[in-house]
Amino acid sequence: MDLSKDLVAASATPLILAILRQKDSYGYEIIKMIKEASDDEIIWTEGMLYPVLHRLENSKLVESYWKMSKEGRRRKYYRLTEAGRQELEKHAKQWELVYSVLSSAIIAAKSRKDDEDV
């Protein structure tokens, strides 16, 4: 299932923040985690992820540090800041709201259709 462009753009920030809430991570791993968590449905491109990450860093929602990997490679890790945590809460509430309105509207539409069928 392909997500629409608008939805990808709107969901990128909360998804990244949520992943960094679990643990500090780096770009390649974030893409992999999103891919796995969505059963290969959501596949982000690097051209989309890194600009968002850097924008989040600029607005101090995440911060970065360099760490050596096991293979002796320098990686840029991102960590959620306190401001990022609050931002994630806000996003989560908004998404819950949208989701609950959407699902109740769909349920209502379904039951109406059921009524008509009878």
> Residues 15 to 44: which contact other proteins by CB under 8 A?
26-28
The half-sphere exposure of 12 on its side-chain side, counting CA atoms within 13 A, is 22
Q: How far is the CB of 43 from other proteins (least distance, A)?
A: 10
Is 17 within 8 Å of 91 (Cβ atoms)?
A: yes
- Any contact of residue 76 with other proteins (CB under 8 A)? yes
Selected binder of other proteins within 2, 22, 40, 66 (CB under 8 A): 66
- Using the minimum distance from each CB to other proteins, give the nearer residue, 10 or 52: 52
Q: For residue 77, list its beta bridge partners.
A: 65
Task: Tell me which of 1, 5, 40, 58 binds other proteins, using CB under 8 A.
Answer: 58
d(CA 114, CA 117): 5
Beta strands 62-68 and 74-80 are: antiparallel
Q: Does 4 bind other proteins (CB under 8 A)?
A: no
- Give the residue with the Cβ less far from other proteins, 11 or 57: 57
Report the C-alpha gap between 97 and 89 in whole angstroms: 12
The verdict on 55 binding other proteins (CB under 8 A) reads yes
Among positive and negative, which fits the CA dihedral 72, 58, 38, 25? positive
- Residues within the interface to other proteins (CB under 8 A): 26-28, 45-47, 50-51, 54-55, 58, 64, 66, 69, 71, 73-76
